C-alpha cells in the first residue's frame, strides 16, 4: 500500500478498481485541519482526468502494471465508429492476434511501423474474476522512419535555415529541417513527435 506522500506524478494507483496515473500533486494544509494531498489523476482505461484529494488515513493501492512485447500488424477502419482498430499479435506467436482501439494505443499511433515490436502495458486487477487488461502501448523512445513525401529542398539550406513538414512511411506529419528529402531515414522522438536527427541520407 502507498501513503498520500507517495503520490508523485507518474505513479499509477488503483481507484474504483481501475488504474489511474497521477498527473499533478500538491500538498496543502489549512490551519486546524488535517493535511491533504490534492491530485489530478487520469483514468488509463477511459482517458478521463479528475481531481481527487487524499488524506494521511487513506490506504492507496499501487497498480500492478507489467509490460509484454507484441508485434504491430495493421490498422483496420471501423465502419460507423470513430477511430480505427489496431491489430497486434504476440511477438513469437503470429496466430495469437488481438485488436485495440485508438484510444488505448495512444497519440503516437501514427508512428508505429508494420511488423515493429512495441510494449503492451498490462494492468492486473486484484479481483479473481477480472482478467489482465491492456491499457496502453509504449513505443521505443525514438523511432526511425523513412520520409515518403517532402517539399523540394532549396540549394544552400542548412540545419538552421528553417523547417518544413514531411510525411513519413506510417502517415505521420513531422516538422523537419529544410535539407530533409524523400527517401531519408529520420529519427523521431515518439513522445513529442519531434525530429531529432537524420539517420540515413537517400
pLDDT in tens, 106-127: 889 999 999 999 999 999 876 5
3-state secondary structure the chain: CECHHHCCCCCEEEECCEEEEEEEEEEECCCCCCCEEEEEEEECCCCCEEEEEEECCCCEEECEEEEEEEEEEEEEECCCCCCEEEEEEECCEEEEEEEEEHHHHCCCHHHCCCCCEEEEEEEECCCCCCCCEEEEEECCCEEEEEEEECCCCCCCCCCCCCEEEEEECCCCEEEEECCCCCCCEEEEECCCCEEEEEEECC
- State the pLDDT at residue 147: 97
Q: How confident is the model at residue 31 (pLDDT cuts 50, 70, 90)?
A: low
**Among 3.20.20.60, 1.10.260.40, 3.30.380.10, 2.30.30.30, what is the CATH number of 4-62?**
2.30.30.30
State the pLDDT at residue 30. Answer: 67
Q: Note whether 166 and 176 are within 8 A (CB).
A: yes
Q: What is the predicted pLDDT for the residue at 112?
A: 96
The second-level CATH assignment, the architecture, of 64-138 is Beta Barrel (2.40)
Burial of 87 (0-12, 13-18, 19+ CB in 10 A): middle
- Looking at the predicted structure, is the pLDDT value of residue 29 above 80? no
Closest by CA to 168, choosing from 114, 116, 110, 115, is: 110
Secondary-structure class of domain 142-200 per CATH = mainly beta
- Using a 10 angstrom Cβ sphere, with 0-12 exposed, 13-18 middle and 19 or more buried, the burial of residue 155 is exposed
Q: What's the pLDDT score for residue 120?
A: 96
Domain boundaries of the chain, sorted by first residue: 4-62, 64-138, 142-200
Cα 102 from Cα 85, distance rounded (Å): 7
Residues 16-28, mean pLDDT to the nearest whole number: 90
Asked whether this chain's domains 64-138 and 142-200 adopt the same fold, the reply is: yes
Amino acid at each position: 500500500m502507498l501513503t498520500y506522500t507517495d503520490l508523485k506524478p507518474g505513479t499509477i494507483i488503483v481507484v474504483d478498481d481501475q488504474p489511474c496515473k497521477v498527473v499533478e500533486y500538491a500538498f496543502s494544509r489549512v490551519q486546524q485541519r488535517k493535511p491533504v494531498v490534492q491530485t489530478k489523476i487520469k483514468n488509463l482505461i477511459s482517458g478521463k482526468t479528475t481531481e481527487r484529494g487524499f488524506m494521511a488515513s487513506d490506504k492507496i493501492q499501487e497498480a500492478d502494471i507489467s509490460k509484454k512485447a507484441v508485434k504491430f500488424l495493421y490498422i483496420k477502419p471501423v465502419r460507423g465508429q470513430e477511430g480505427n482498430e489496431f491489430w497486434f499479435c504476440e511477438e513469437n506467436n503470429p496466430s495469437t492476434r488481438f485488436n485495440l482501439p485508438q484510444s488505448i494505443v495512444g497519440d503516437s499511433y501514427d508512428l508505429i511501423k508494420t511488423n515493429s515490436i512495441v510494449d503492451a502495458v498490462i494492468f492486473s486487477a486484484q479481483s479473481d474474476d477480472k482478467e489482465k487488461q491492456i491499457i496502453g502501448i509504449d513505443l521505443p523512445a525514438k523511432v526511425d522512419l523513412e520520409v515518403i513525401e517532402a517539399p523540394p529542398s532549396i540549394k544552400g539550406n542548412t540545419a538552421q535555415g528553417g523547417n518544413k513538414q514531411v510525411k513519413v512511411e506510417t502517415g505521420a506529419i513531422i516538422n523537419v529541417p529544410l535539407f530533409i528529402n524523400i527517401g531519408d531515414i529520420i529519427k523521431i522522438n515518439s513522445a513529442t513527435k519531434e525530429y531529432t536527427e537524420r539517420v540515413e541520407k537517400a
